Amino acid sequence: MSMQETKSTCPYCGVGCGVVIEHDGTQITGVRGDPDHPANFGRLCTKGTNLHLTATPVVIQHQRLREPAKRAARGATPEVISWEQANREIADKLLAIRAEHGPESIGIYISGQLLTEDYHAFNKLARAVLGTPHIDSNSRLCMSSAVVGYKQALGADAPPCSYEDIELADCILVSGANPAWAHPILFRRLEAARNGKPGHKLIVIDPRKTETAELADLHLQIRPGTDVALCHGLLHAVIWQGWTADKFIAQHTEGFDALKELVRDWAPSRAAQVCGVSEADIWQAAEWFATSPSALSLYCQGLNQSSSGTAKNTALINLHLATGQIGKPGAGPFSLTGQPNAMGGRESGGMATLLPGHRDPAKAEDWAEIEALWGVPGLPGKRGHTAVEMFEAAARGEIKALWIACTNPAQSMPDQATVRQALERCELVVLQEAFAHTATAKYADYLLPAATWGEKEGTVTNSERRISRVRPAVPAAGESRADWRIARDIGALVDAGLGRAPRIAADGAEDLWLEHRDATRGRDLDITGLSWATLDADGPQQWPYVTGSTPRLYTDGRFATADGRARFITRPYQATAETTSPQRPFALTTGRMRDQWHGMSRSGSVPKLFAHEGRPLVRINPGDAAAAKLAEGELVHVRSSRGAVVLPIKLDENIAPAGADIAMHWGDEFIGAQLGINAVTHGAFCPDSKQPELKFSAVAIEPARLPWRLSACAWVAPADGPRLREQLRALMPRFGYAHCLPEPAKPGHGEQVGWAFEAACSEVPAPELIAELTAVLGLTGANVLSYADTRRGRLRLLRLDSGEQQTAPLQALLRVGQYDEGAWLVDLWRERSAAAPVGRWLLSPGAPPTNPGASASPQVCNCFDVREDVIRFTLARCSGSPAERLAKLQAEKRCGTQCGSCLPTLRRLVATTPEEVPA
Ligand SMILES: Nc1nc2c(c(=O)[nH]1)N[C@H]1C(S)=C(S)[C@@H](COP(=O)(O)OP(=O)(O)OC[C@H]3O[C@@H](n4cnc5c(=O)[nH]c(N)nc54)[C@H](O)[C@@H]3O)O[C@H]1N2
Ligand SMILES: Nc1nc2c(c(=O)[nH]1)N[C@H]1C(S)=C(S)[C@@H](COP(=O)(O)OP(=O)(O)OC[C@H]3O[C@@H](n4cnc5c(=O)[nH]c(N)nc54)[C@H](O)[C@@H]3O)O[C@H]1N2
Ligand code: SF4
Ligand SMILES: [Mo]
């Protein structure tokens, strides 16, 4: 078939980049940035650039969920069933549970990665069809503090800014966000904007020294959780210096006097002490923010995921209001959205604390309006359980049925012990998923295959309120169906069972969107002037859209409150829900890796995305490690009062003393720890937003004492990869520590995929385990080299690649030993270095004096596979200013010239690699 192109959006982050999908009508073959899309103008980050690799035939066949399936009993292997059977049985079970325990025994848990049309269908399914108020979304873990912050201060949940404000701002304050990794295309825009603007100021507030902080003129490395104290200190400085916008305050705001009263006690000296930063830095930040012609703030989970998440948001908005840095080009409080359509979920009201069109379930008149719009009387009339509350209610046995779509709560929710208990206790767990192997899938009674990126039709809204069309390029994989359709079809059977006409009548994405559009009439997000045809013809548009797109809100100083005045919110600083103690002295934060997405169901299907810092680790400050006598690479228990994970230690200067950091991505798909990283975190949440404090847990970090190490690795043909992965993964729970990760293919070795299984245990692994691994790796027969020292528990089984003996690398290996004994073989395998030169070491204890695999230097540029050692070597010969040296490096090695995700690292390497002056 001929090549075709379809415009859509990237399914990862809330930047909402436009993509052009290249395909032949049946298979996706490539992807590139959409040059016409105003979010990215053709650029994509590493994750977006590799999207087509998540839709290859091998991934579709082995990693997608393609057919409806049912478990006869918990723990049993799911059996494929027809859609008809699945829909009928699920509807019957929901009806039975509803009849016996009432509608409130059903909970729906959905996702900011659904399209607006899916959200709308699920909202009706919950509130109109099933009659339960309990519908919430993973946006509760993500954006709810931002939502409530905006509503309290400005009157509506509406980010007032546009991406172009990044180019227009004179001062940018990034707080609790690491856009260099989490919103890379916006960070590219920020970098470019700074280049063109002498005197531009960038302030970063983050307890970690991130790649975002590296670019900053001023990094306030605060103690985690102290943002409110810092903002109060900044405001105190602003007032003291007379930098307040008095006319603006008088004309357009309410409540400044009460706030002034509160921040009087927050002199920068006191804030500096509480936050652990210098007083001078607070004065400096206040000056830049208040006196720059325009100041923009960008913020994300460092503020939102907190037991005072709303107060952190409003304290920052207070600064904007007090200085008049809002409603004008280049200024305003700009909440970065996490997921691609968290905004759409907020607009369509698919959450426990929201109703369609930014309405409020606490208001009877808002319910009445929705009843009229939907033509359904008797909607639940109250707010339902939010995410943490919903799983707690299920764990208590109050919620009997959970229908989960497009999210992986057994990985991403805090306090996994409670979440797992909830999933186990429910009578019915329905999971609607695009990928087959998520942590939650193990608990599902019914698995419903969802169509996903490249296959779905609808709309999404990005961080700047911009609505884009999502378009299908290829047919849905296998039997998978659009999310809205699955909800609608089961909803229709429930309605029939209750003897009434279907309450979700829409047939198709556009129909659903039109219903959603109606709910916005006369509201702050009114899009009644926008049509599907306009979106198709004119491209993405920003709401509100009555007569046209709206790039910026509140330009006339009128806010979305009843009286048009913004509110200063007066909230005292409060410490985190948990605090560190001598028993648990480390403040653990969790966040994102640059090249992976959440539970990695999609991004983890691309081996090359593991090349950048893709290992499970806990990072701590080298000083703390020395004091606790912990060495790099040592396995430790990271333990909170709720649970523990075992991980290798990484010493990292960028982590403050008494801090610790683990990427949020590690769950039981990739590491052996059954409950994953969120075994450790807790469900304490902000009282206003109900968003849990995922950014702070008090933990102990102690040696794990697992001296026996085992590595099992093999390169295989792509079609054999999934089998190998599944067999290795199945063995992970049998070790004290284990991970199983794909190894990016090496140039010149074709399409082979590698899987590396590394594990540790307290005693010599049992012979049965060794026998199982030997079989999984096929390490039997005449061509296997073996060495065993049973007395010392050492074992090596090796097979070389076929071909030229002198150059053949290791194809597969199994090694057992204490600690690092024989670990060099894994480097040799990974780098595909010739084994012959170290031949005599292969089967004897110890390591060769120089290990041909050990030179492996970390990958920096993912697009062109350029490594750190090559970059340093090249830079040593590049002269000139930092910018000139970077340009020369890029001209020679091309690193950082495509997606640009590695630019922050390249700049650091330029700064730390001196030019070698010829002798
Ligand atoms: N590569 C990648 N990008 C993503 C995602 C992904 O999975 N991978 N997910 C997307 C989603 S859903 C989201 S929500 C966003 C999240 O985007 P971000 O919020 O930018 O990312 P995080 O790494 O979660 O956290 C940001 C920073 O908060 C800091 N922090 C921790 N505690 C505090 C504190 O008390 N105060 C302050 N000021 N800072 C603190 C952390 O050190 C961290 O650097 O990323 C989106 N983009
Ligand atoms: N410790 C810790 N935990 C965190 C966070 C943190 O910073 N630290 N961050 C929190 C935040 S901000 C977020 S947003 C959450 C994210 O947490 P999750 O929502 O659990 O993350 P994902 O892995 O993106 O889950 C989305 C699932 O939907 C599936 N999917 C993809 N496309 C489709 C589709 O079209 N239809 C359907 N039905 N399924 C699809 C994917 O395979 C994937 O399993 O994690 C939260 N958890
Ligand atoms: S910044 Fe990257 S992950 Fe986010 S939408 Fe753009 S390409 Fe996708
Ligand atoms: Mo998120």
CB 394 within 8 Å of CB 430: no
- pLDDT of 445 > 70? The answer is yes
Total length of the chain: 919
CB of 461 closer than 8 Å to CB of 341 = yes
Q: Note the pLDDT of residue 919.
A: 60
Of 234, 242, 294, 291, residue with least CA distance to 266:
234
Find, among 657, 663, 632, 621, the residue nearest to 645 by Cα. Answer: 663
Mutate to test the pocket of ligand 2, among 10, 664, 685 (most ligand atoms within 8 A of CB): 664
Give pLDDT, residue 1: 63
pLDDT tens-digit readout, 589-606? 999 999 999 999 999 999
Q: Is the pLDDT confidence value at 799 over 80?
A: yes
Q: Which atom of ligand 1 is nearest to the CA of 14?
A: 46
Q: Which numbered atom of ligand 1 lies nearest the CA of 205?
A: 38
pLDDT tier at 334, thresholds 50, 70, 90: very high
Whose CA is closest to 427, among 447, 397, 449?
397
- Does 576 map to a domain? no
Residues 829, 765, single domain; the answer is: yes
CB of 412 closer than 8 Å to CB of 111: no
Rounded to the nearest angstrom, the distance between the alpha carbon of 752 and the centre of ligand 3 is 28
pLDDT in tens, 736-789: 999 999 998 877 777 889 999 999 999 999 999 999 999 999 999 888 999 999
Contact between 635 and 703 under an 8 Å Cβ cutoff? The reply is yes
Token pair for 414: 């805090």
Which ligand is nearest to the Cα of residue 34, counting in written order? Answer: 3
Question: How far apart, in whole angstroms, are the C-alpha atoms of residue 306 and residue 632?
Answer: 30
User: Quick one: 302 and 421 in the same domain?
Assistant: no
Instruction: Provide the β-strand partners of residue 110.
Output: 137
Q: Is residue 629 part of a domain?
A: yes
Same domain, 831 and 891: no
Q: Is 821 left (phi over 0), alpha (psi -120 to 50) or beta?
A: beta
Q: What is the DSSP letter of 332?
A: E
Distance 603 CA to ligand 3 centre (A): 12
Residues 369 and 323 in one domain: no
How much is the mean pLDDT over the chain? 96
- Looking at the predicted structure, is the pLDDT value of residue 918 above 70? no
Q: Output the domain CATH number for residue 40.
A: 2.20.25.90
In this structure, are 215 and 363 located in the same domain? no
Is there an atom of ligand 1 within 6 Å of 695 CB? yes
Would the CB of 462 count as within 6 Å of ligand 3? no
The three state secondary structure string of 302-368 is HHHCCCCHHHHHHHHHHHHHHHCCCCCCCCEEEECCCCCCHHHHHHHCCCCCCECCCECCCCHHHHH
Nearest CA to ligand 2 atom 29: 406
Angle at 659 between CA 656 and CA 660, to 5 degrees: 120
pLDDT value for 462 = 98
Domain closes at, from 674, 703, 732: 703
CA angle 143, 148, 152 (to 5 degrees): 150
Strands 79-80 and 106-110: unpaired
Q: With 70 as the cut, is the pLDDT of residue 652 above it?
A: yes
Write the residue with the smallest CA distance to atom 2 of ligand 3.
45
Ligand 2: distance of its center to the CA of 690 in Å?
A: 18
742: preceding bond cis by omega (within 30 degrees): no
Query: Stretch 93-122: mean pLDDT, rounded?
Result: 98
Mean pLDDT score, 245-262:
98
40 within ligand 3 shell (Cβ under 6 A): yes
HEC profile for 381-411?
A: CCCCCCHHHHHHHHHCCCCCEEEEECCCHHH
Of the residues 678, 703, 728, the one at which a domain ends: 703
Domain's final residue, options 62, 78, 105: 62
> In this structure, is residue 695 part of a structural domain?
yes
For ligand 4, an ion, list residues with CB under 5 A: 142, 338
**31 & 107 share domain:** no
Q: Give me the residue label for tokens 């509760």.
A: 140
Pick the ligand that lies closest to the CA of residue 596. Answer: 1
* Strand bridging mode 4-9 / 332-335: unpaired
- Starting from the CA of residue 10, give the closest ligand: 3
Q: Tell whether 238 is covered by a domain.
A: yes
Among 261-270, 379-388, 441-450, 783-792, where is mean pLDDT lowest?
Answer: 783-792
Q: Is residue 742 in some structural domain? A: yes
Residue 598 CA to ligand 4 center (angstroms) comes to: 9
749 lies in which domain range?
A: 708-842
Mapped onto helix, strand or coil, the DSSP state of residue 775 is helix
Same domain assignment for residues 57 and 28: yes
5-44 residue pLDDT tens: 999 999 999 999 999 999 999 999 999 999 999 999 999 9
Does 622 lie in the same domain as 686? yes
- Nearest CA to 757 out of 778, 730, 785 is that of 730
Average pLDDT over residues 644-655: 97
**Pairwise CA distance, residues 118 & 112, whole Å:** 10
| 178 Cβ below 6 A of ligand 1 | yes
Ligand 3 nearest atom to the CA of residue 184, by list position: 1
What CATH number did the domain enclosing 92 receive? 3.40.50.740
Q: Whose CA is nearest to atom 1 of ligand 1?
A: 594
- How far away, in angstroms, is 348 Cα from ligand 1 center? 25
User: Biggest alpha carbon distance in the chain?
Assistant: 91
- Mean pLDDT, to the nearest integer, of 298-324? 98
CA of 337 to the centre of ligand 4 (A): 7
In angstroms, how far is CA 891 from the centroid of its own chain? 33
Determine the Cα–Cα distance for residues 553 and 487; give it in Å rounded to an integer: 35
Q: Are strands 201-205 and 171-175 parallel, antiparallel or unpaired?
A: parallel
Q: What is the pLDDT of residue 121?
A: 98
> How close is the Cα of 145 to the center of ligand 4, in Å?
12
Instruction: Count Cα atoms within 13 angstroms, Cβ side, for 648.
Output: 17
Nearest CA residue ID for atom 15, ligand 2: 412
The CA 213 to ligand 1 mean position distance, Å, reads 13
How many helices and strands in the chain, by DSSP H and E? 32, 34
| Closest residue to atom 13 of ligand 1, CA basis | 338
Answer for the pair 14, 338: CB distance below 8 angstroms, yes or no: yes
Q: Which of 788, 733, 734, 725 lies closest to 757, judged by CA?
A: 725
Which tokens sit at 790?
A: 């049973």
Q: Measure 463 CA to ligand 1 centroid, in angstroms.
A: 15
Number of structural domains the chain divides into: 6
Identify whether the C-beta of residue 665 lies closer than 8 Å to the C-beta of residue 599.
Answer: yes
Q: Please report, rounded to a whole number, the percentage of residues in the chain having pLDDT higher than 90.
A: 90
Please write the tens of the pLDDT for every residue from 397-413.
Answer: 999 999 999 999 999 99
User: Tell me, what's the pLDDT at 802?
Assistant: 84
| Model pLDDT, residue 644 | 97
User: Once rounded to an integer, what is the mean pLDDT over residues 861-878?
Assistant: 89
Please list the helix, strand and coil fractions of the chain in percent, rounded to the nearest 5, in that order: 35, 20, 45
Q: Return the bridge partners of 18, or none.
A: 9
401-405 and 428-433: which strand pairing? parallel
The finding on whether 13 has its CB within 6 A of some atom of ligand 3 is: yes
pTM of the model: 0.96
Whether residue 222 contacts residue 272, with contact meaning beta carbons closer than 8 Å, is answered with: no
User: Is 726 inside a domain boundary?
Assistant: yes
CATH number at 641 reads: 2.40.40.20
152/127 same-domain check:
no
Nearest ligand 2 atom, CA 451: 35
The closest ligand to the CA of 8 turns out to be 3
Ligand 1 center from residue 599 Cα (angstroms): 15
Place of tokens 């799911």: 78
Provide the pLDDT confidence category of residue 855 given band limits of 50, 70 and 90: low
- For residue 804, the CA-to-ligand 2 centroid distance in Å is 46
- Do 655 and 621 form a contact (C-beta atoms < 8 A)? yes
Residue with CA nearest ligand 3 atom 4: 13
Cα dihedral across residues 325, 331, 336, 340: positive or negative: positive
CB atoms within 10 A of CB 817: 22
Least confident of 302-316, 607-621, 835-849, 871-885: 835-849
Instruction: Supply the CATH number for residue 895's domain.
Output: 1.10.10.1100
* Whether residues 308 and 438 fall in one domain: no
Q: How do residues 342-381 score in pLDDT, each as one tens digit?
A: 999 999 999 999 999 999 999 999 999 999 999 999 999 9
- Residues 914 and 919: their CA atoms lie apart, in Å, by 14
Is any ligand 1 atom within 6 A of the Cβ of residue 571? no
Mean local confidence (pLDDT), 444-451: 98
Distance 72 CA to ligand 1 centre (A): 40
Question: 728 with 832, same domain?
Answer: yes
Could you tell me if residue 485 is inside a domain?
yes
Comparing CA positions, the residue from 303, 337, 458, 297 lying closest to residue 15 is: 337
Kindly state whether residue 580 falls inside one of the protein's structural domains.
no
560 vs 336: CA distance, rounded Å: 20
Q: Are residues 176 and 124 in the same domain?
A: no
Percent of the chain with pLDDT over 70: 99
Ligand 3 binding pocket includes 15 (Cβ within 6 Å): yes
141 three-state secondary structure = helix
- Please name which of 423, 380, 453 lies closest in space to residue 603, comparing C-alpha atoms: 453
